Structure 1
């Protein structure tokens, strides 16, 4: 599975992942929690993504499933952009 998201998305996500090295690829199915994303930073990341992509993640969209991988996170943002 190849990454299919804008550079701005990747840069924002990477900024919240202390265990992902600068030279490491952000794979679509990467486990964001194992890369250092905790619950507090997940909220911050979602707020940053909302601002960057002019979307609002509804309360019911704030689940562990939403932030489990870059793919699931980008899918959520992409669906909201199309709505």
Structure 2
């Protein structure tokens, strides 16, 4: 199993060796709250598209606000791109880069 590089107080809940994706427990609920098509017992995969998860554009805006609050970051305009908010993995990579 790959070793997490996450340095905050909590342990990651997801790690993908090839993707270098790791996120803290606070991240996944923010995605799940907006994922109308992801059942509670299904794993959240880093490479699932937000469209597949049932997340619409208004929910992405809400997600951005919640991410900024939860992780005490400000997402700059240049990161507000569809490819950045395409999957949980790409979102977490952007958030992590701002911490």
| Fold shared, TM-score > 0.5 on shorter chain | yes
TM-score (norm 1): 0.92
TM (norm. structure 2) is 0.78
Partner of 2:38: 20
User: Quick check: which one's strand share is greater?
Assistant: 2
Q: Which residue of 1 aligns with 2:90?
A: 72
Deviations 1:6-54 (A, max 9, x none): 1110011111101000000000101111211111110100110000000
1:46 maps to 2:30: no
Residue equivalent to 1:10? 28
Structure number with larger C-alpha Rg = 2
Match of 1:63 in 2: 81
Instruction: Output the aligned Cα RMSD.
Output: 1.1
- Structure having greater relative contact order (Cα 8 Å, sep ≥ 6): 1
The number of equivalent residue pairs is 81
Separation in structure 2 between the aligned mates of residue 69 and residue 62 of structure 1, nearest angstrom: 13
TM-superposed CA distance for 1:66, in Å, is 1.2
- Structure with greater helix share of residues: 1
